[in-house]
Amino acid sequence: MQSSNEPGFIKNLRQWLEPLIVPLLAIITAVILGGLIIKSVGGDPFAAYRGLVQGAFGSKKALSETAVWATPYIFAGLAVAFAFKGGLFNIGAEGQLAFGAVAAALIGYALPKWLGHDIPAFIHIPLAVGLGMLAGGLWAAIPGALKAYTGGHEVINTIMMNYIALNITSFLLNGPMKDPNPLNVVARTPAIAKSARIAPIFDGLRVHWGFVLALLVALLIWWILQKTTLGFEIRTVGSNPDAAKYAGINVQRTIIISMAISGMLAGLAGAIEVTALNYRHELGFAVGYGFDAIAIALLGKTNPFGVVLAAILFGAMRNGGTRMQFLTQIPVDIISVIQALILLFVAADAIIRFIYRIRVREERVVLTRGWGG
Amino acid sequence: MKKLYLVTALMIVASIILTACGAPATTAPTQAPVTSAPTEAMTEAPTAAATEAPTQAATQAPSGQAPDCTKPDVFCVGFVTDVGKIDDKSFNQTAWEGVQKAQSDGVANWVQYIETTDSKDYDKNIATFADAGYDMVVTWGFALTDATYNAAKQYPNTFFVGGDQFLSKDDNHPDWPLANLVGVVYNEDQSGFLVGALAAMVSKSHKLGAVCGTDAVPPVWRYGEGYKAGAAYEDAKNSTKTEVTVVYHSDVGFDKTFTDPTWGADTANSMIDKGADAIFGCGGKTGNGAVDAAAQRKVYAIGVDTDQYFTLPEAASQMLSSAMKPETQPVADIIKLAKDGKFPTGGLYAGPSGYAPYHDLASAVPANVDAEMQALLAGLTDGSIKTNVPPVKPAQ
Amino acid sequence: MDWRRFAVIALIIAIMFGTVVLVGFSQSSPLLIVTSMLATTIAVATPLTLGALSGIYCERSGVVNIGIEGMMLGAAFFGWLASIYMNTVFHMPGMLSLFIGVLAAILTGGLFALLHAMLSITFKVDQIIGGTVINILAVGITGFLNRQMFFGKGSVFGGQVPHSPGILPRIHIPFLADIPTFGRIFEQQPITIAALILVIVTHYVLFNTRWGLRTRAVGEHPRAADTVGINVIRMRYINVIIGGFLAGLGGAYFTLESISSFEPLMTNGRGFIALAAMIFGNWTPFGAWAAALVFGAAQALQINLQFFRTLIPPQWSFLQNSYVVGLAPYILTMLILTGLIGKTIPPAADGKPYEK
């Protein structure tokens, strides 16, 4: 219980730690349940988890790979979380990410050709990444505008936009943007110019500066949401659109901006994957990240820092899962089960509180307001 | 009370992390270098009409404890799949069975597989084996071409075998061929040609169908176009007119194109509605769905990559043949060659083409058709008959 | 759903069918083409219809359910598993095994739905989260069990996928099915027929019975319904579970009626398309069914244009590109949602947990 003669710094510490208790316990409970499932089919849970952790954190290379996995998850998770803050459910991160990647790849390999000469990196990289961001933002602004002006629900519209994006990128990568090298048979773009590539942080490891950018962007998003007028407007529209209207906020404009920023973050995820990791875009890259991002945003309770932690957790699990399978032959699918359980317990924190007898005051995150209309 | 829980939780998490740090670190591979005898440019595997012995045993996960692969007398082989599953009843599974065969034949002491779930992980998955001291890493799928090439350069003491990985010397691969790398390539168009010819000769409605994965994958494209070419060849010979329709599942992403059996079944049914009486399923599980549907509708079904009479029992009674891409024996052979110090050099290893036996439908294939099939196989093998299928789909 | 939307849907379907007939009539008779396209349309629309009906029950009572995809996938797996068990381990005859499989699938859907109901109604977890959890859980459990049971160390069947009892047989409707060529449409499998019947049944129940009225009341004005004595919580629970049963039946289609094997992730997003169909159809059974038909027709269009691709005249060569054709239903859905063709109105209390 809180006491009024508690020194200030303990109170601050408690404020920071309290929101972490339930997610932490949720993770532990899910891990225990997952272990029981593994045991029930004849596996060794301790070996499995040891493999998982070793694969995720057990060496410099493992840590690097976890960071590599976490980077797009952070961006995409922020995208979905940001939209949630604005009262919108952006399932379209998948398609926005795809366009971000395509745009970045195009600038990356085609711009020097169009201009006829090389471009210095300090111009080329921001251009590629920036245009990727814009492409994602535009792709999300369309369903945003539809929602704002016609009331069409963003869940369905963004799902449709995902399919449309898939079709368009398939067409582009098999056709006009396909690597013309006669030995190339895959649906992919040519490699981007060296001047468009974001460097790895350490020699020999794949972790790149995009990871650092992701952390900075998370900070930026927190700042926008908490410290700017725009952020205030977005959050107000998100929690109570009627109150927002009475307060004089232009709800329609805010909805479009929320979706646009969300899309830009998702586009950033794709653009960074292209410029910092793969150095090209290929059909089959970055598949499913948009949907993982939903779980990550929910796990992080739409808080930017929570999203970063959740993204690292999910990245660690995806990365470590292969080592777990390698060492113990337990199918990687168990990772999905554990992720679902974690999400379940975090979301239904009442279950966790019941099990562990905790009374923690938490801000209830409102996500669903029906289909609108 | 709250604080107690928090502390307990932190301790549990900390102990989990500590157990990982306690595990032995990965060791650098230390192997006696294997000398490879100089051989001619490309090693040809013997072609055969009806190929490998049917493998009744399905894919099994390895069991038991892994030995220390860094020891020179322990020969370990790792298998990395493309994004997809080890149990796809055709492509990955058959190659993996070759690796397992090497173990059951006593050539390899230990074999293990890793399924790739994201193309980002190719390098990591290959490195997992190489760093653990595995003597050979088999990567299966053309998408792993670059990752395998790079790994071969990075780990010169480990053998690398790439399925469907066609390479040649170019700007991206200046050091090809490498002494420790070989790509197993097939002429899928020839196998497609064979089953297309067979279907054309045996069909009563003279309407054939094929349901394939995306044509952006060259082997799939070759299968589909070879099927058409084979039917056309027999048409020209016998003055018949056969309608062949090949539908590629190019409208979905790579993650779905080979894992959409329901679409495969719907498409096959659509073709059968229009009179097709032979359906060739050429695209992993998507194709399996088409084969399944064809069998249910009691028309001829044609499998792919392996003799699917055995791997798709529910369609067995209608399985006319399969376009063979024998992977098991060549993979097992290469492993043995590596162990014996005769790893094939020259960069490419040609796998045979072929068609599977007719099994239950042998009565539907008259003797002259069978004779023609054997003649076709011989002609394709010695080069006198050409399919004229371009190796990849021309850009549009 | 208003007549305008129905008219637009009928027009779209007619255009799709007509395009294929125009392209392909030189190779196949128009009747054959129409029959074939109709068959494909119905086949593709069946799981979508059942998924949409599932959504309608849930949402009409006020519970958003985006977990239909997971419910169908889980049902597909466990239904298939049950039919194999019955056939292989207990040596039951094929038909009975399949029937038990369908029951198992329905039950699985209901169980997932029970979880969703508990999360959404009792624990008042955000319903989007609940649905997402169901989806991820289903993918993980089915993938894991599929691998572990058939290919893992503890494999129950010795590492071999056992012989499945096949798929549900087609039922030959006498007289109608004997019509040449077109009669094939009247030979359908049980789940397909059930889907059609359930559309009619759902419409009747929802709009012509007292129970349906109560359901809708609970979805529109739960507080008012509570005042009149309707047990809001109980109605929501029952409707969500019924929705689960329907999603389960939809899942059974994949592994017991369409093909006879299970593949991980085989539902491939169809649960989300079903949601789109539900909204497209303005939360009405006939509307959702019509929307499902549009999606079905679109896939039939795509397949058949590839089938006749050599006959497509050069000025329409864009039709040869399956990417372009594939866009049609998605753009159409978005257009519908803009309200250009009638307003889309969800149940008023959809998504809000009820607090006493």
Query: Following DSSP, what letter does each residue of B309-366 receive, concatenated?
Result: HHH-GGGGGGEEEEEE---HHHHHHHHHHHHTT----SSEEEPP-EE---GGGGGGS-
Question: What Rg value do the Cα atoms of chain A yield, rounded?
Answer: 22
**A333 touching C, CB under 8 A?**
yes
Residue B55 has pLDDT above 70, yes or no: no
pLDDT, position B88: 64
* Pairing of β B278-282 and β B207-212: parallel
Listed ranges B231-245, B309-323, C15-29, C69-83; the one with the highest mean pLDDT = C69-83
**A121 touching C, CB under 8 A?**
no
pLDDT, position B40: 28
Residue B278 has pLDDT above 60, yes or no: yes
Which chains have 3+ CB pairs within 8 A of A? B, C
- Closest residue on chain A to B115 (Cα): A322
Q: Name the pLDDT band for A137 (thresholds 50, 70, 90).
A: very high
- Beta-carbon contacts of residue B81 (< 8 Å; ≥ 6 apart): B92, B96, B113, B114, B115, B116, B140, B141
- Beta-carbon contacts of residue C219 (< 8 Å; ≥ 6 apart): C59, C60, C61, C62, C347, C348, C349, C350
Contact by Cβ (8 Å): B46, B382: no
With b for 16 or more beta-carbon neighbours within 10 A and e for fewer, the B355-364 pattern comes to: bbbbbebeee
Give the separation between CA A65 and CA A360, rounded to whole angstroms.
Answer: 35
Question: Rounded to a whole number, what is the distance in Å from the CA of A60 to chain C's nearest CA?
Answer: 29
Residue C11 has pLDDT above 50, yes or no: yes
Q: What is the pLDDT of residues C226-266, one digit of tens each?
A: 999 899 999 999 999 999 999 999 999 999 998 888 888 88
Total count of residues recorded for chain B: 396
Residue C105 has pLDDT above 70, yes or no: yes
Instruction: Give residues 28 to 67 of B whose Cβ lies within 8 Å of C.
Output: 56-61, 63
Question: Rounded to a whole number, what is the distance in Å from the CA of A3 to chain C's nearest CA?
Answer: 30
Give the separation between CA A304 and CA A76, rounded to whole angstroms.
Answer: 11
Residue A266 has pLDDT above 70, yes or no: yes
Note the CATH number of domain A23-356.
1.10.3470
Query: Residue A201: how many CB atoms within 10 A of its CB?
Result: 15
pLDDT, position B63: 56
Residue B64 has pLDDT above 90, yes or no: no
pLDDT, position C322: 67
Using alpha carbons, list the distances in angstroms from residue C95 to B13, B113, B359, C102, C108: 51, 38, 27, 11, 20
Residue B29 has pLDDT above 50, yes or no: no
Q: At B386, which amino acid appears?
A: K
pLDDT, position B13: 47
- Size of the B and C interface in Cβ pairs below 8 Å: 114
The residue-averaged pLDDT of B44-69 equals: 47
Query: Following DSSP, what letter does each residue of A92-149 receive, concatenated?
Result: THHHHHHHHHHHHHHHHHHHHHHHTS---HHHHHHHHHHHHHHHHHHHHHHHHHHHHH
Which chains have 3+ CB pairs within 8 A of C? A, B
Total count of residues recorded for chain A: 373
Q: Which of C97, C164, C258 to mutate against chain B (most B CBs within 10 Å)?
A: C258
A15 or A110, greater pLDDT:
A110
- Closest residue on chain A to C321 (Cα): A171
Beta-bridge mates of residue A40: none
Counting residues of chain B whose pLDDT is more than 90, the rounded percentage is 33
Residue B251 has pLDDT above 60, yes or no: yes
Q: Name the pLDDT band for A365 (thresholds 50, 70, 90).
A: low
Instruction: Give residues 150 to 169 of B whose Cβ lies within 8 Å of A.
Output: 166-168
* Pairing of β C171-172 and β C187-188: antiparallel
pLDDT, position C240: 96
Q: Name the pLDDT band for B113 (thresholds 50, 70, 90).
A: confident
Put simply, the answer to whether B250 touches A170 (Cβ < 8 Å) is yes
- What domains sit in chain B, N to C, each tagged with a CATH number? 66-186+327-352 (3.40.50.2300), 188-324+353-382 (3.40.50.2300)
Query: Residue B63: how many CB atoms within 10 A of its CB?
Result: 8
Closest CB to A285: pick one of B5, B119, B392.
Answer: B119
Question: Rounded to a whole number, what is the distance in Å from the CA of B354 to chain C's nearest CA?
Answer: 26
Put simply, the answer to whether B119 touches A167 (Cβ < 8 Å) is no
Listed ranges A260-264, A337-341, B331-335; the one with the highest mean pLDDT = A260-264
**C342 touching A, CB under 8 A?**
no
A217 or C333, greater pLDDT:
A217
Q: Which of C259, C268, C319 to mutate against chain B (most B CBs within 10 Å)?
A: C259
Q: Closest by alpha carbon to A348, among C134, B8, B5, C60?
A: C134
- Size of the A and B interface in Cβ pairs below 8 Å: 126
Q: Which of B314, B393, B396 to mutate against chain C (most C CBs within 10 Å)?
A: B314
Q: Name the pLDDT band for A370 (thresholds 50, 70, 90).
A: low
Give the separation between CA B94 and CA B141, rounded to whole angstroms.
Answer: 12
pLDDT, position A221: 96
Instruction: Give residues 268 to 307 of A whose Cβ lies within 8 Å of C.
Output: 294-295, 298
Q: At what angle do helices A209-227 and A251-272 cross, to 10 degrees?
A: 170
ipTM, two decimals, is 0.83
- What domains sit in chain C, N to C, each tagged with a CATH number? 3-149+187-337 (1.10.3470)
Structure tokens at C296: 């079905």
**A175 touching B, CB under 8 A?**
yes
A150 or C71, greater pLDDT:
C71
Contact by Cβ (8 Å): A353, A27: no
**CA atoms lying within 13 Å on the CB side of residue C202:** 28
Give the separation between CA C2 and CA C7, rounded to whole angstroms.
Answer: 9
Of A172-186, B155-169, B212-226, C126-140, the poorest mean pLDDT is in A172-186
Of A100-109, B45-54, B382-391, C55-64, the poorest mean pLDDT is in B45-54
List CB contacts (< 8 A) between B259 and chain C. Answer: 263-266, 268
Put simply, the answer to whether A333 touches C264 (Cβ < 8 Å) is yes
**C311 touching B, CB under 8 A?**
no
Contact by Cβ (8 Å): C247, C79: no
Put simply, the answer to whether C331 touches A164 (Cβ < 8 Å) is yes
List CB contacts (< 8 A) between B170 and chain A. Answer: 181, 183
pTM check: above 0.90: no
pLDDT, position B38: 27
Which residue reads 């077109």 in tokens? C182
Put simply, the answer to whether A155 touches C66 (Cβ < 8 Å) is yes
Give the separation between CA A346 and CA A27, rounded to whole angstroms.
Answer: 8
Give the separation between CA B114 and CA B132, rounded to whole angstroms.
Answer: 13
Contact by Cβ (8 Å): B362, B37: no
- H/E element holding B302? strand B300-305
**C344 touching B, CB under 8 A?**
no
Counting residues of chain B whose pLDDT is more than 70, the rounded percentage is 81
Listed ranges A12-16, B19-23, B92-96; the one with the highest mean pLDDT = B92-96
Instruction: Give residues 219 to 278 of C whose Cβ lies within 8 Å of B.
Output: 254, 258-261, 263-266, 268, 270
The residue-averaged pLDDT of A311-323 equals: 91
**B269 touching C, CB under 8 A?**
yes
Closest CB to A159: pick one of C140, C152, C276.
Answer: C276
Of A252-266, B112-126, C190-204, the poorest mean pLDDT is in B112-126
**Chain centre distance of CA C301:** 19
Which chains have 3+ CB pairs within 8 A of B? A, C
**C26 touching B, CB under 8 A?**
no
Query: Residue C220: how many CB atoms within 10 A of its CB?
Result: 17
The residue-averaged pLDDT of A161-173 equals: 87
List CB contacts (< 8 A) between A335 and chain B. Answer: none
Put simply, the answer to whether B259 touches C151 (Cβ < 8 Å) is no
**B271 touching C, CB under 8 A?**
yes
